[in-house]
Amino acid sequence: MTTAVVILNWNGKALLEQFLPSVVQYSEGATVYVADNASTDDSLAYVSAHFPTVQIIKNTENGGYAKGYNDALANLSEEIFVLLNSDVAVTENWLAPVLSAFKNDDQLVAAQPKILDFNKKTHFEYAGAAGGFVDKLGYPYCRGRIFNTLEEDRGQYNDTTTIFWASGACLFVSSHAFRAVGGLDADFFAHQEEIDLCWRLQAKGGIVKYVGASTVFHVGGATLGAANAQKTFYNFRNTLLMLVKNVKGSVVWWRIFQRLVLDAFAGIQFLLQGKGNHFFAILRAHFSFYALLPKFLRKRKNWASNLKYSEINSVVIAYFLKGEKFYNQLK
């Protein structure tokens, strides 16, 4: 099974210096690519000088995660794409368990490994942990991570199991399935686009899995940290867009209304915390959502489905009101 490990880079020489060596060392049998989003630093000169076996793909613009990967993958011929963040340290034998899962399951279209925190290696990392889910209002959560509560890795998620979404930090995806659904949605730019992709892949009959026998370590926030208001903007806007695009029936509008109300509460909380930039990020997210709504209503005609996407009604209620901080506590 031919495999392309593709690292998207934008002015990330320092990250490449730190993390590319482990990828090259432990990705035997795969072709490693660095896809550059029109960087202005000397990232590519560094890669060419120190890693001659790494293939370089030059994108003409910084189209973010979604368009960047769509452009980079367009002309690759490998059967499996591995979309790998530039701030991920891989481990020995990280590829084999996941590729084996693809070989053993014809319906498997996307997967992720166990994702631990590079800076606190005993704990799961925010972006993906041990596999992702969403509640009925589109709030994402993971086995091993609900909101900002990160579980210690005690082997409780060493299994292989079906999940709803695989993390974009280390996303294995069938190239055939990826192209069959049109790739990532470039209108998302960054954040939640992997959830939207996994949603569409499953609507077409595919299965998404977590493979706990493979482990990587992710820094997280190396591009846009949690304190960055632009991350708040993308997360709030893109969840609304994702629901409109993928949830079939009139129920979606009730769920959108509920999200808008909860977003207002979140904005007030940011104000009370003195984080006015995040409050305005939510306002910008809503205005951007309204501007993109006509376009996403057209997408809805092609992609809205009756796919069962939620395990629970509200992870917000479970976490903040019921005190269910860990995945195995969710009812």
CA 301 to chain centre: 24
Q: Is pTM beyond 0.85 here?
A: yes
pLDDT of residue 213: 98
CA 180 to chain centre: 19
Question: How much is the mean pLDDT over the chain?
Answer: 96
pLDDT of residue 46: 97
Average pLDDT over residues 202-216: 98
What separation in angstroms does the CA of 270 have from each of 74, 137, 239, 267? 40, 20, 19, 5
- pLDDT 10s digits, 104-123: 999 999 999 999 999 999 99
CA distance 327 to 319: 10
Q: 221 pLDDT band (50/70/90 cuts)?
A: low
* Buried b / exposed e along 92-114 (16+ C-beta atoms within 10 A): eebbebbbebbeeeeebbbbbbb
- pLDDT 10s digits, 175-189: 999 999 999 999 999
pLDDT of residue 331: 81
Q: Domain spans of the chain?
A: 3-218, 229-329
Give yes or no for a contact between 148 and 169, defined as CB atoms under 8 angstroms apart.
no
- pLDDT 10s digits, 256-295: 999 999 999 999 999 999 999 999 999 999 999 999 999 9
Which of 3.30.1050.10, 3.90.550.10, 1.20.140.10, 3.40.50.300 would CATH assign to domain 3-218? 3.90.550.10
pLDDT of residue 224: 47
In the chain, pLDDT over 90 holds for what percent of residues? 96
pLDDT at 226 over 80: no
pLDDT at 49 over 80: yes
pLDDT at 222 over 70: no
Average pLDDT over residues 56-79: 96
